Homo-oligomer: A and B are copies of this chain.
Amino acid sequence: MTEALENEPVIASTIADTVCSKLQSAIVEGIIPAGSKISEPALANEFGISRGPLREALSRLEACNLIERKPNVGARVVTLTRQHLVEIYLIRESLEGLAARQAAENMSDKDINELDALLEKHQQQIKQDQSYYQKEGDMDFHFRIIKGSKNSHLIDMFSNDLYHLIRLYRYQFGMVSKRVPRAFVEHGQIVDAIRQHDGELAQFLMSRHIRSSRINVEKMLDEHLAITD
């Protein structure tokens, strides 16, 4: 609860901020479909704002890699290709391994207890409804570990860039894997390693966890087995 207060010190948000958030959600959830062109006048009209703050929001979306802009031409929503997805997984394999290692070194007992609680909560959710865990819960866990690393630059990289792309992929490809039970077990192993402050082990387990996930995804993509349960 202390955290909750610290995380939102003061929210002096500008129009560009709120619009950027809304657009992030809209793109991730596919409301603005992948590959579609973005018209500045149209969007500005829709939000009832001027083009100035909208352009600033677009700048940030470009930094998030959610849109691509060409000078004097315009912006398009990014389309996630298979190759790009693999690239992101490889990066996660590498970076989240580091995050787990630093989390094992830097997380406080309180942090770890909260992580445990999250795991417990996920177990409940899985019994009731796998889909939530698959879409957002898994992300919650991974993000928690990133934050636990206390590596501010690492946290930044995920918050501004990778986080949205991963969510985008989940919505866009929207396939349900049989790995959920297995992934949950692996999450438990990672937390154990962190609790023992075994950085090396945590790194190894996290890297392998994501690698397995990647291989699973590659297989599903190859077999065109999206949405097949």
- A residues touching B (Cβ–Cβ < 8 Å)? 12-14, 17, 52, 55-56, 59-60, 63, 65, 71-72, 84, 87-88, 90-91, 93-95, 97-98, 102, 151-154, 156-157, 160-161
Contact = CB atoms under 8 A, between A and B. Distances in A.
B63 A160 contact: yes
A55 B94 CA distance: 34
Given A52-B52, A59-B56, A60-B63, A153 B88 contact: yes
B14 A87 contact: no
Taken together, the copies of this chain in the complex come to: 2
Contacts of A12: 71-72
A160 B55 CA distance: 19
Q: Pick the most buried of A84, A152, A153: most chain B CB atoms within 10 A of its CB.
A: A153
A98 B56 CA distance: 33
A59 to B, nearest CB: 4
A67 to B, nearest CB: 13
A117 to B, nearest CB: 27
Contacts of A60: 59, 63
Contacts of A17: 71
A31 B201 CA distance: 45
10 contacts: A12-B72, A14-B72, A87-B151, A90-B98, A91-B98, A91-B154, A91-B157, A94-B97, A95-B95, A157-B157
